[in-house]
Amino acid sequence: MAILFAGILVGAFLIAVLCVPAVMAVARRTNFLDHPGPRKIHTQPIPYGGGLAIAAGALVPLGGGVLGAWFVQRGAITLPADLAFYAPGVLSRAHELAVLVGGALVVCLLGLVDDKKKLTPGFKLAVETIVATGFVLGGERLSLFWEGSSAGDLVGGAVTVVWIVGMTNAFNLLDHMDAISGGVAAIAAAAFAVIAALTGQLFVAAALLAVVGACAGYLCFNFPPARLFMGDAGSLLLGWLLATLTVTFTFYQKGRTPLSAYFVPLVVLAVPLFDTARVVLIRVRNGKPIFAGDTNHLAHRLLALGLSRRATVLAVWALSAFTGLSAIQLHQADTLLGLTLVLSQVVLVFALLTILEIAGRRAAP
């Protein structure tokens, strides 16, 4: 299985990397560019379309895996027995994958149109809500431990829609500096992949590794100074993929404290959740539109404290790695004390960040 995981990771990386030159060439020919402006640091037009490379890197391996499993089942392809063993399981998740990929394509297209035409936030939220609702109606939703009742199904479905729409926009808001959204998404997907593998949910682990590889390929062209932007097509897609993939697998394990099942995804995604919550609260308090750009993000505060852009990106990545490792540790906690200790250290780190953010805000011009 390790060979298959490595193949998916490398394959997704190579697909994303190989797609980039074509994406950049088309973007330049069609003037699909982010031009320099008052609130932008680049002095030359930068191509959009990185989201398409991420989509190809993340989704093609998944579709190829299902297609390969179909051929294996029909004897058209022969694989080693230890790999062919997984073909029936992959095919059993084909419907689930179709719903996930279908929604991903719609969200990516929505972001692509927004990059070109600048859609209103209300319209984007409406489309995202409809697509998330379709995902739920397709048979996927969060489990709230009180299944089997109409009320449980309704509440679970509503929470799932809120989770998907919230995370989709959290990664959209996080895409305010080169390599931030893509790097955080890659680290979060890697943490989720480890947890999925530890619990034997190999299909989900493979899907998450495809996201990791696709993000890594894109980041080769987006790490400061960027040569390519993902745009809303990429940030909305990454939020959608991470939100829906966390819905499709179970965090609860028998013998572990049930509370960890609720906290694990929140801790893995603590960076985008923290950044989004802070920014939204500041904008609401100042009477500004929630989706209006500003310099209140965590990365901007670190810049104000004197870090370079590259150092800022690496600091945010390190914070994401910390929360990811904490979530893996949290998932293994088998007592309430263990859960409390892990959550406490995460809360303390973000309390320190809040203090630094306040200092950064005072230091900002």
Give the burial string for 304-321 (b: 16+ CB within 10 Å, else e): beebebeebbebbbebbb
Residues 24 and 112 in one domain: yes
DSSP state of 67: H
| CB neighbour list of residue 77: distance below 8 Å, 6 or more residues apart | 68, 71
Residues 217 and 310 in one domain: no
Closest to 14 in 3D by CA, of 86, 64, 83: 64
Cα torsion angle, 226, 228, 233, 238, sign: negative
Residue 168 and residue 81 share a domain: yes
Specify the pLDDT at position 71: 73
Half-sphere exposure of 158 (CA within 13 A, CB side): 6
* 154: number of Cβ within 10 Å: 11
In which band, very low, low, confident or very high, does the pLDDT at 81 lie, cut at 50, 70 and 90?
Answer: low
Residues 6+ apart with CB under 8 A from 234: 50, 51, 52, 54, 55, 108, 111, 175, 181, 182, 218
Q: How many CB atoms lie within 10 A of CB 236?
A: 30
CB proximity list for 78: less than 8 A, separation 6 or greater: 72, 84
Same domain, 207 and 258: no
What percentage of the chain exceeds 90 in pLDDT? 52
Q: Is the same domain home to 189 and 337? A: no
The mean predicted confidence, pLDDT, of the chain is: 86
What string of DSSP letters covers 199-266? TT-HHHHHHHHHHHHHHHHHHHHHSSSPS---HHHHHHHHHHHHHHHHHHS----TTS-THHHHHHHH
150 pLDDT higher than 80: no
Could you list the residue range(s) of the whole structural domain that residue 273 is in? Answer: 253-365
Same domain as 274, residue 236: no
Domain boundary among 201, 228, 250: 250
364 has pLDDT over 60: no
- Within this chain, do residues 144 and 174 fall inside the same structural domain, yes or no? yes
User: Which of 250, 280, 310 lies at the terminal end of a domain, its last residue?
Assistant: 250
Same domain, 243 and 118: yes
pLDDT tens digits, 182-197: 999 999 999 999 999 9
Residue where a domain stops, chosen among 250, 267, 287: 250
How many other β-carbons are positioned within 10 Å of the β-carbon of residue 83? 15
Q: Give pLDDT tens digits for 342-355.
A: 999 999 998 988 88
Instruction: Please report, as a single letter, which amino acid is at residue 184.
Output: V
pLDDT in the model for residue 323: 96
Q: Are 266 and 197 found together in one domain?
A: no
| pLDDT value of position 63 | 86
Same-domain check for residues 282 and 363? yes
Do 201 and 122 lie in one domain? The reply is yes
**What pairing do the DSSP bridges indicate for beta strands 33-34 and 46-47?**
antiparallel
Asked if residue 285 and residue 222 are part of one domain, the reply reads no
Q: What is the tally of structural domains in the chain?
A: 2
CA 120 distance to own-chain centroid:
22
Entry pTM: 0.91
